[in-house]
Homo-oligomer: A and B are copies of this chain.
Amino acid sequence: MSYKAPVKDLLFNIQHLAGIDQIAQLPGFEDAGLDTAQAVLEECARFNEDVIAPLNAVGDTQPSSWKDGEVTTTPGFKEAYRQYAEGGWQGLQHEPAYGGQGLPKTIGAACQEILNSANLSFALCPLLTDGAIEALVTAGSDDLKAIYLEKLVSGQWTGTMNLTEPQAGSDLALVRSRAERQPDGTYKVFGTKIFITYGEHDMAENIVHLVLARVQGAPEGVKGISLFVVPKFLVNADGALGARNDVHCVSIEHKLGIKASPTAVLQFGDGTAATDVNGTGPGAVGYLVGEENQGLKYMFIMMNAARYAVGVQGVAVSERAYQLAAAYAKERVQSRPVDGSVKGSATIIHHPDVRRMLMTMRALIEGTRATAITAAAAYDAAHKHPDAEVRAQNQAFYEFMVPLVKGYSTEISQEVTALGVQVHGGMGFIEETGAAQHYRDCKILTIYEGTTAIQANDLVGRKTARDGGNVAKAIAAQIEKTESALRAAGGEPAEAVARELGKARQAFLEVVEFMVANSAENPNAAYAGSVPYLMLAGNLVAGWNLGRALLVAKEQLAAGEDKAFLAAKITTAHFYAEHILPRTAALRDAVLHGAHSVTELPLEAF
C-alpha cells in the first residue's frame, strides 16, 4: 500500500492554524508564503511518495548490517539519500549563509512529517544532522562553522548525537567519556557511546559526531561535561577528507523496530586501529564546541530540536498506519452491518467499531498535527519577530509545547499503530501486511530523546512550576476564547467542542494549580502525576487546535468552499471532543489523587 502525503491537511494547518501569512511578514521569511508552502509540500510529497516511502518495508526485512566495523545500510538507502541531499532537503530550514533555504519551521515541520511517514528509519539520519547543525550554528567557533556547516547543510556529510553510555542514559551526570587537551588546542576523546543513531553508515562521505565527554579535571556531574566535534574522517585545511579518526563502530543493535536505522556502539580511542591519526598517540581527535563544561547547554540545543522532531515522527508514523488501516477497511469484506444498511456482508468500514477505530486514529493524528504545526509557527515568531516581547511570548509558548509535541504525539502513536493492527484483524499480526511494522517502529518514539517521563518532568518543573503556571494559564485563557468563539458560531459540533474543551480546560487548570503547589513542597506528589499531566495537556491542546480548525472550516463552508474536506474537519473535531477530550477527567483524577498509592509500596514488595 503506497503512502500519499496529506498535503491538503498540512496546508490547511499551515494556512489557517499556523497563519503562514503572518509568518511571511517576518524578516527573512518574505518569500515563505502560502504559495511557497504549497510548492515545497507538493514537491516533498512527490519525492517521498516515489523514492523514500517504497523503501520502508525493505528496511524492515533487510535492516542495516554490520561487518568488520562497517555498516551497510538497507538496499536503496544510499541512492535515495543521494537524491535527498541533491534535492536540497537537508537545508530546508537552515540559513542561506550555509547553503540552506531558510524556510520557516512551519513549512519544515510539514516536510518532516512527510519524510517520516515515508520512512521513519531513513528520516532519522537527516533528523540527527539537523541537530548537529543547530548546535554548531549556535555554539561552534567560526573555524568549526567554516569546516562543517556547509557540508552538513548540503547533506554531503551527516551528523550524530553522542550522549548515552552504558551507565548513562537519561542521567548524563554519569557520563564517563573523557577528553584530553592537546598542545595544538585539539582534544583526544576516549570512551564508549551506545545507542548512536546512524553512528556508522555508508550513505555519506563523512560523519560528524557531536560527543559529550569530560575534560580532565572537570567538575563531577553535569557541570563537567563538554561537547566535541569528532569527525569520522579528519578534514584537511583544503576541506578534503584526511585521515580516518580513532572512532569505530563496534556493533549495531538488534531492535524491535526502525531496523534500517543503524544504532551503533561507538568506541572512541580504542587503540586498536588508526590509533595515531595525527602523530600524537591514540584517541579520537576532537574539537571543542563553545566552552569547556558547557556541553550540556549545547547538547540541549540539539536535543530540543530533536525532541520536537520526534514528536513529528509520532504524527508521521500514525498517519502511515492510518492510511494502511483505512485502505484495508475499505477493501476487506466481512459480516453484515448492524444497521442493515447493506444486505449481506459488507466492507468492514461499515461496522461501527471499525469506524470508531479509524475515527480515533484520524482525530488523534489531526489533533497532534495541528499542535505540532502551531508550535512551529511560534518557533518562527520567537526567532524572527522584530518585537522582543512578541518573541519572548512565542518562545515561552513554544517551550511549553515541546514536551507536549514530543510526549503526547509519541504516546498516541502507540495507540494509533495498535489500532492500525487491530483494524486488520488476524492479518495485522502477519508481518507481510505491514501494520505490525508501524506498531514496532513507533515504540522507540516514547523513549529516545528523553522518555515521556523526562518530557513530563520538564513540563512540570521548567515549564509550569518555574513561572508559577503563568504560561499554562495564558494558554488556558486562549482556549477559553476559542470556546466562546465556538459557542458564538453555534451548531451541535461547535457547541459540543466548546463544552468538552471547557471541561478539559478546567481539569487542566486544577492540575496546573496542583503542580505549582506541590512541585517543590511535595515533589513525589507532583512527579507521580507528571505523565498524566502531560497527557492531559497534550490532549487539551490538540482538542483546542481542532476546535480552531472547526471554526475555520465552518466559516469556509459557509463561503461554499471545498465541502467534503471541510465537513470532515468539523466531524473530526466533533469526534475528538466527544470521544478523546473526556479522557482528561481521568488524567486529572490520577494527578489530584496524588502519590500516596503510587509510592507507598516498599521496594521489596515489587
Give A contacts to B, CB under 8 Å.
Answer: 164, 167-171, 173-174, 195, 253-257, 326, 329-330, 333-335, 338-339, 345, 349, 351-356, 358-359, 362, 414, 418, 421-422, 425-426, 428-432, 436, 439-440, 443-444, 446-448, 451-453, 456-457, 493, 496, 523-524, 526-528, 530-531, 564, 567-568, 571-572, 574-575, 578-579, 582-586, 589-590, 593, 595-606
CB distance from A155 to the nearest CB of B (A): 27
Q: Which residues of B contact A567 (CB under 8 A)?
A: 605
Q: Please, could you name 15 A-B residue pairs with CB atoms under 8 Å apart, sorted by A? A: A255-B431, A326-B606, A330-B603, A338-B523, A352-B599, A355-B528, A359-B601, A418-B443, A421-B447, A422-B451, A439-B443, A564-B602, A571-B600, A574-B596, A582-B590
Q: Which residues of B contact A329 (CB under 8 A)?
A: 606
Q: Report yes or no: A345 in contact with B174, Cβ–Cβ below 8 A.
A: yes
- Extra contacts besides A255-B429, A256-B431, A571-B601 (13): CB < 8 Å: A254-B430, A254-B432, A339-B524, A349-B606, A352-B528, A352-B598, A353-B527, A355-B528, A356-B531, A356-B598, A422-B446, A568-B605, A582-B589
Q: Report yes or no: B579 in contact with A439, Cβ–Cβ below 8 A.
A: no
Q: Which residues of B contact A351 (CB under 8 A)?
A: 453, 527
Q: Report yes or no: B575 in contact with A334, Cβ–Cβ below 8 A.
A: no
**Nearest residue, chain B, Cβ from A451:** B425
**Nearest residue, chain B, Cβ from A421:** B443
Q: Report yes or no: B345 in contact with A171, Cβ–Cβ below 8 A.
A: yes
Q: Which residues of B contact A582 (CB under 8 A)?
A: 585-586, 589-590
Q: Report yes or no: B354 in contact with A453, Cβ–Cβ below 8 A.
A: yes
Q: Report yes or no: B606 in contact with A330, Cβ–Cβ below 8 A.
A: yes
> CA of A53 to CA of B432 in the docked complex: distance in angstroms?
29
Contact of A169 among B334, B362, B457 (CB under 8 A): B334
Chain A contact surface mostly: helix
Q: Report yes or no: A448 in contact with B426, Cβ–Cβ below 8 A.
A: yes
Q: Which residues of B contact A354 (CB under 8 A)?
A: 453
- Known A-B contacts A356-B531, A443-B418; the reply to A253 vs B524 at CB < 8 A is no
Q: Which residues of B contact A571 (CB under 8 A)?
A: 597, 600-601, 605
Q: Which residues of B contact A600 (CB under 8 A)?
A: 571, 574
- Known A-B contacts A255-B431, A356-B598, A579-B598; the reply to A603 vs B564 at CB < 8 A is no
> CA of A548 to CA of B523 in the docked complex: distance in angstroms?
32
Q: Report yes or no: B578 in contact with A597, Cβ–Cβ below 8 A.
A: yes
- Known A-B contacts A358-B606, A593-B579, A601-B568; the reply to A169 vs B426 at CB < 8 A is yes
> CA of A94 to CA of B590 in the docked complex: distance in angstroms?
44
The 7 closest A-B pairs by CB, nearest first: A352-B528, A582-B589, A578-B593, A353-B453, A575-B597, A338-B523, A256-B436
Contact of A335 among B171, B496, B574 (CB under 8 A): B171
Q: Report yes or no: B432 in contact with A171, Cβ–Cβ below 8 A.
A: no
Q: Report yes or no: A447 in contact with B430, Cβ–Cβ below 8 A.
A: no
CB distance from A163 to the nearest CB of B (A): 11
Q: Report yes or no: B443 in contact with A429, Cβ–Cβ below 8 A.
A: yes
- A354, A356, A448, A603, most chain B CB atoms within 10 A: A356
> CA of A253 to CA of B431 in the docked complex: distance in angstroms?
8
Q: Which residues of B contact A356 (CB under 8 A)?
A: 528, 531, 598
Contact of A447 among B428, B493, B564, B598 (CB under 8 A): B428
**Nearest residue, chain B, Cβ from A433:** B256
Q: Report yes or no: B170 in contact with A333, Cβ–Cβ below 8 A.
A: no
**Nearest residue, chain B, Cβ from A522:** B339
Q: Which residues of B contact A579 (CB under 8 A)?
A: 589-590, 593, 597-598
- A329, A330, A335, A602, most chain B CB atoms within 10 A: A335
> CA of A603 to CA of B568 in the docked complex: distance in angstroms?
11
CB distance from A498 to the nearest CB of B (A): 14
Q: Which residues of B contact A605 (CB under 8 A)?
A: 564, 567-568, 571
Q: Which residues of B contact A426 (CB under 8 A)?
A: 164, 169, 195, 447-448
> CA of A589 to CA of B581 in the docked complex: distance in angstroms?
10
